[in-house]
A and B are shown apart, each in its own frame.
Chain A
């Protein structure tokens, strides 16, 4: 027998006293065009508004967005209460990118994940695995750029004010060196090297000290000050110099002069302070700066 579901949702054609014998023939229901239209209307397969939460409960739940034609986009849109789109998350087939956009998936303004895995923030054409641009309102009008890029087989951190390349740089690059140091580049020129021993390169003082005859007021890379006697002082370095060919620069009290007392050693420098009569004398203000490796 056939079962007819009418528009009011009631079932007719049933025998009084219970369900008919046998099972409902699904094929019979599906074949009924009028009934199918009723089901579609209830389930809203072609659109509409869901007013409850959506839950997919199975072992490997999935939602698939499959456009019907080329260069289409599948997306999730997030609106405010005024129906204005604030964020759009989806795949834009025309540019082969997964995007987090503002008003529409066609907007190339937020985050882009290309099909090769490159991620761009503020750019839809990241030139490395990760690239950030601040293009203001127009992508391509680049104001600043931060790129993790491969420079001479070392991964570095690059800050550029324009499109950067190793041969035409307008920016600033921080790059590890072969010996474990860190190089700071201005354009393509190595401007400063920070060595691994916490001392700096030959461009800056590897050690310095401000001391008096009895105290070490402040210092860098110094472990101790030694008062050997009147006008006779030593400074021990925290980290030894690599060699003794360094350049010590000293300053003394007024009307006095200070100099190296013995040949500088890699771990210590001994200084003598003399007055204008050539006699050793103590003082309150001495300075030492050491340049070298």
Chain B
């Protein structure tokens, strides 16, 4: 899964770092991750996008390989659009952040 959002009139694609996704895991007693991938991407959106940014989560199956007109890609809001929120004070401290973006 990836995130897309409007970055100055051009669609930006956010690719999560696999190690950071692992870091966001919360395991139960059986060792199973209790945090869904979508929940992790929402957390990344809250962390890496400016608060209030509109974005959508797209599946890996969405083909973005044709980059001939990459700078003409635009973000169009869909039905599952979300808005990035603030991190908590505890999360800000965890990431060595003094304020939300």
Interface set of A (CB-CB < 8 Å, partner B): 197, 209, 213-216, 218-220, 222-230, 236, 238-242, 266-268, 282
A222 contacts across to B, CB distance below 8 A: 17, 19-20
**Contact call B17/A225, Cβ cutoff below 8 A:** yes
Question: Do A223 and B15 form a contact, CB below 8 Å, given A267-B97, A282-B70?
Answer: no
**Contact call A216/B101, Cβ cutoff below 8 A:** no
If A213-B67, A222-B17 are given as contacts, then 20 extra A-B residue pairs at C-beta distance below 8 Å, sorted by A number, are A209-B17, A214-B67, A216-B15, A218-B18, A220-B19, A222-B19, A223-B20, A223-B47, A223-B48, A224-B17, A226-B7, A227-B15, A228-B10, A229-B73, A230-B71, A238-B17, A239-B94, A239-B95, A267-B95, A267-B101
**Contact call A214/B65, Cβ cutoff below 8 A:** yes
Please give me the 4 A-B residue pairs with the lowest Cβ-Cβ distance, nearest first. A227-B13, A236-B48, A240-B96, A223-B20
A282-B71 Cα distance, complex, nearest whole Å: 11
Q: Can you list 8 contacts pairing A with B, beta carbon distance less than 8 Å?
A: A209-B17, A219-B19, A222-B19, A226-B7, A227-B14, A230-B67, A239-B96, A282-B70
* Nearest CB on B from A270, distance (A): 10
B 29-41 binary contact with A (CB < 8 Å = 1; else 0):
0000000000000
Interface set of B (CB-CB < 8 Å, partner A): 3, 7, 10, 12-20, 23, 44, 47-48, 64-65, 67, 70-71, 73, 94-98, 101
**Contact call A226/B70, Cβ cutoff below 8 A:** no
Question: Do A228 and B7 form a contact, CB below 8 Å, given A240-B97, A242-B96?
Answer: yes
B94 contacts across to A, CB distance below 8 A: 239
A227 contacts across to B, CB distance below 8 A: 12-15
A153-B82 Cα distance, complex, nearest whole Å: 52
**Contact call A224/B101, Cβ cutoff below 8 A:** no
* Nearest CB on A from B96, distance (A): 4
**Contact call B15/A214, Cβ cutoff below 8 A:** yes
**Contact call B19/A226, Cβ cutoff below 8 A:** no
* Nearest CB on A from B25, distance (A): 14
A146-B98 Cα distance, complex, nearest whole Å: 41
Q: Which partner residue on chain B sits nearest A227 by CB separation?
A: B13
A197 contacts across to B, CB distance below 8 A: 96
B96 contacts across to A, CB distance below 8 A: 197, 239-242
A222-B18 Cα distance, complex, nearest whole Å: 9
Question: Do A226 and B13 form a contact, CB below 8 Å, given A216-B18, A236-B48?
Answer: yes
A240-B18 Cα distance, complex, nearest whole Å: 18
**Contact call B48/A224, Cβ cutoff below 8 A:** yes
**Contact call A268/B17, Cβ cutoff below 8 A:** no
B20 contacts across to A, CB distance below 8 A: 222-224, 238
A219-B23 Cα distance, complex, nearest whole Å: 13
A223 contacts across to B, CB distance below 8 A: 16-17, 20, 44, 47-48
A226-B44 Cα distance, complex, nearest whole Å: 12
A209-B18 Cα distance, complex, nearest whole Å: 12
A215 contacts across to B, CB distance below 8 A: 15
A239 contacts across to B, CB distance below 8 A: 94-96
**Contact call B23/A238, Cβ cutoff below 8 A:** yes
Most chain B Cβ neighbours within 10 Å, of A214, A215, A218: A214
Q: Which one, B15, B64, B67, B95, contacts A240 given CB within 8 A?
A: B95
A225 contacts across to B, CB distance below 8 A: 14-15, 17
B64 contacts across to A, CB distance below 8 A: 214
A240 contacts across to B, CB distance below 8 A: 95-98
* Nearest CB on B from A50, distance (A): 51
A218-B15 Cα distance, complex, nearest whole Å: 12
B48 contacts across to A, CB distance below 8 A: 223-224, 226, 236, 267-268
B16 contacts across to A, CB distance below 8 A: 216, 223-224
